[in-house]
Amino acid sequence: MPKKEEKLINKDGIRSDGRKSNELRPTKIIVGNLPNADGSAYIEQGKNKILAGVYGPHEVHPKHLALPDRSLLRCRYHMAPFSVDERKSPAPSRREHELSKIIRQALEPAIFLKYYPRTSIDLFIEVLQAHGGTRCAGITVASLALADAGIPMRDLTVACAAGKIDGQLVLDLNDIEDKKGEADVPLAYMPNLNAVTLLQMDGQLTLGEFEDAVRLSLEGCKKLYNIQKEALRAKYVSKMEDEE
């Protein structure tokens, strides 16, 4: 007898991890946890655990890569071998190279790169535990690491995804929803400027579903933006209180 397919969302609209369709996973962010980096941040979003560190602006090596009119933002997204159920090769994969480029492109519009010509800003994102949506969580935590490094920014960049599971649109897909769902719409956003810096879609949606998914992603971004600001405030308010 064929095994009955597991439902990702029940008749009451409750998902496999107990969330409603428009709920984020529990999220915790800590800013400034790497003393040897110029800026750093750590995020736990659901079972995701991701660390970001920033070094720079500093002199570019090799020098021929230097840009005369702006800083060079270099991004490395990497998944630790123990971050997934089956051991991953420590060597950078094609997907990691692709996500490094996507994250860099999502963050660049927020940074005043022209302030630091002929320098580089090196951003490292290390996924310690992966459970769906690491691209978006990586952008969210990397933006805070850049802010913690004191790099002038137009706004924080925050990212969230909406998707379709069992015919319904939901916010912030976890691992099983990402793998078994019908569609995924990652979006990165600068809320104060109302500017989208990344918009992708995997899977198939009608035009109406796509528009609804974008609106849902934006709602998620705004919720995460408040968590970002609270994390920055927690570091610097406590630092000021310690100095007093």
Domain that holds residue 146: 27-233
pLDDT tens digits along 184-227: 999 999 999 999 999 999 999 999 999 999 999 999 999 999 99
185 in any annotated domain: yes
Three-class SS state of 36: coil
User: Is position 13 within any domain?
Assistant: no
Across the chain, where does the E strand assignment appear?
27-31, 39-45, 48-59, 72-79, 119-129, 158-165, 168-171, 183-190, 195-199, 202-203
What pLDDT score does 238 carry? 66
DSSP state of 81: T
Segment 102-125, tens digit of pLDDT? 999 999 999 999 999 999 999 999
User: Cis peptide leading into 57, omega within 30 of 0?
Assistant: yes
Q: How confident is the model at residue 2 (pLDDT cuts 50, 70, 90)?
A: very low
The answer to whether 173 and 133 are in contact (CB under 8 A) is: yes
Note the pTM of the prediction, 2 decimals. Answer: 0.92
Does some domain include residue 5?
Answer: no
Q: Specify the number of domains making up the chain.
A: 1
Phi and psi dihedrals of 36, rounded to 5?
A: -85, -10
**77 within some domain:** yes
196 domain residue, yes or no: yes
62 is a domain residue: yes
Residue 243 forms part of a structural domain: no
Chain mean position to CA 100: 11
Q: Which of 123, 222, 130, 132 is nearest to 172 (CA)?
A: 132
Identity of the amino acid at 224? L
CA distance 46 to 172: 9
Do the Cβ atoms of 105 and 198 come closer than 8 Å? yes
In this structure, what token pair is assigned to residue 186?
Answer: 């990652």
pLDDT value of position 121:
97
Classify residue 226: in a domain, yes or no. yes
Q: Domain of 122: which CATH number?
A: 3.30.230.70
